[in-house]
A and B are shown apart, each in its own frame.
Chain A
Amino acid sequence: MSDTTLRNATDRVWPEDGVTRVPAWIYSDPEIYAKELKVFHYGKTWNFVGLDCEVPEPNSFKRSWVGERPVIITRDAEGEIHVVENRCAHRGSLLCWKNRGQAKDITCPYHHWTYNLSGDLMGLPFLRGVQGKGGMPRDFDKSKNGLTKLRVAVRGGSIWATYSDEVAPLEEYLGPEILMRLDRLVSRRPLRLLGYSRQIVESNWKLYWENSRDPYHATLMHPFLSTFGILRTDGDYHSVPLQEGRHEYTYSQYDPELKNKTSEASKQIKSIHSDLEVKDKEVVSSVVDEFKDGMMGAFQVFPTILVQQYFNCLVVRHVIPKGVGAHELSWTYFGYADDDETINRLRLKQSNLVGPAGFVSLEDSEVLSLMQPVVESCPDSVQVLEMGGHGTEAQSTMMTETLIRAFYDFYRREMGL
């Protein structure tokens, strides 16, 4: 056993070269992971938990997660949204086992303690015992034994939760650039839920977090993107870190002519297979510019989601940590309540681009799950992040790792590393 594996997380020292080097131990050290959950997910952040179209009417619920903790989003009889821990206040058993549904109250399967949809304990069997024997003490106070309630914020059709009393209001936490992009997708029209994909990726959550801040890999590892002109190195592209690295967004102007052009840049990329064909071209060629701005893009809201628009496919990727070496990716596809049949069909068709077996996305989880055992086996190795220089500023190119550097700039401050 090397010294590294015996060292305490608190003794960890970041490499001298700052954010251009990322030490591999951050992907496998259980103490680092525990601290991340405490500082990030259970700390002063807003966690995305779901969309309002997932709890569409009074008396509905949806399971979600904040960090590793299971939570339930509920909409009570009055229509108000709550987020409570999915953990019985009695013995800690998982209360709600169903992903979504309708209910007037929540009853624990273990001892049948019953809570209302705002998390208050309504009753428990045999409170007064049986035939004068047993039961709870007289001073047992139901009002003090409800579910743990999280602070909730709703923005347009998006629902957020936090354990923190100190974190700034959601709007301030997101900031104007993210708010504008979030509102563009979820606040202008009522949402319609189209469906889910869910997958377990056997890698530390940060490997995925970096992956979605890494436009450099996109045209190389995902041949589908370059072949069909969805994203090209010679297209217009912007990588913009926000709030000193906390959040970020990327965007490009969609150019339907780009796929017919060749340029010096595109010839350099080996993975552009011009002989790759797709039988149903509608998945890449039929686009409705529904926001009237020709913009395609994605944004990341720390620490839980990447929201992405591929043509008319709108999807939230929810990154849910599942131990130091795994995370779940929960993809929620949505459209709008007033969508016509044409655009609804396009959204569904284009959703084939993403998800666990997506034409574009399938390589990510494969590469990352093979990467995890490698970084685990070499905790003292470092990653090199010099594409686009050493800085953390916004850049108008895909050929940059500025977004990852900006993230680690933020990460180191928050984690004290």
Chain B
Amino acid sequence: MSDWVRIADASEIADDEPFASEWNGEAIALYRHEGEIFAIGDICTHEHVRLSDGWFEGDRIECPLHQSCFEIRTGKVIEGGPASEDVASYQVKVEDGAVFVKRGI
């Protein structure tokens, strides 16, 4: 994914409610936090489960299985849970109500 990819409509993404999406087999979750939209990989690096089914609080998502936490701004894992690797991070832009993402920050 080296180019911008249209992945959702901005209106679909509610405040503090994870939005699960997918592009070409890649699970991506979108989060709206303090008015801004963020996108990170949606499969926990510990066990195969969608993080967007977990607990979204502040600027982190907590895995529903074993409470590994990831920063929604960067995809970085927060120490303390069983996961030790980060999930992917994406750049996000909104144009004419459409959300585009691109690998990297």
Chain A interfacial positions (CB closer than 8 Å to B): 104-105, 107, 112, 114, 116, 122-128, 130, 142
Contacts and interface: CB of A to CB of B under 8 A. Distances in A.
Contact of A114 (B64, B66, B84): B66
Contacts of B47: 107, 112
A25 B84 CA distance: 55
Interface in B71-100: 80-82, 84
A112 B65 contact: yes
20 contacts: A104-B82, A104-B84, A105-B46, A107-B47, A112-B65, A112-B66, A114-B46, A114-B65, A114-B66, A116-B82, A122-B80, A122-B82, A123-B63, A123-B65, A123-B67, A123-B82, A124-B67, A125-B66, A128-B54, A130-B64
A202 B95 CA distance: 77
A104 B66 CA distance: 14
B82 A127 contact: no
Contacts of A105: 46, 82
Contacts of A125: 64-66
A128 B61 CA distance: 13
Contacts of A123: 63, 65-68, 81-82
Interface residues of B, number: 15
A128 B55 contact: yes
B65 to A, nearest CB: 5
A406 B72 CA distance: 68
Contacts of B67: 122-124, 127, 142
A403 to B, nearest CB: 49
Contacts of A116: 82
A105 B54 CA distance: 21
Nearest to B69: A123
B82 A124 contact: no
Nearest to A77: B84
A199 B63 CA distance: 43
A116 B84 CA distance: 12
Interface in B38-71: 46-47, 54-55, 62-68
A112 B82 CA distance: 12
From B47, B68, B84, residue with most partner A Cβ within 10 Å: B47
A140 to B, nearest CB: 11
From B46, B66, B68, B84, residue with most partner A Cβ within 10 Å: B66
Nearest to A128: B55
Given A104-B82, A104-B84, A114-B82, A126 B64 contact: yes
A109 B47 CA distance: 13
Contacts of B46: 105, 114
List 7 tightest A-B contacts by C-beta distance, closest first: A123-B66, A123-B67, A122-B82, A114-B66, A125-B65, A105-B82, A128-B55
B53 to A, nearest CB: 8
A124 B55 CA distance: 13
From A107, A116, A130, residue with most partner B Cβ within 10 Å: A107
A122 B81 contact: yes
Given A105-B46, A122-B80, 5 more contacts: A114-B65, A122-B81, A123-B66, A128-B55, A142-B67
A114 B66 CA distance: 7
Nearest to B53: A130
Contacts of B63: 123
A213 to B, nearest CB: 47
B44 to A, nearest CB: 10
Contacts of B82: 104-105, 114, 116, 122-123
Contacts of B68: 123
A107 B46 CA distance: 11
Given A104-B82, A104-B84, A114-B82, A122 B66 contact: yes
Contacts of A126: 64
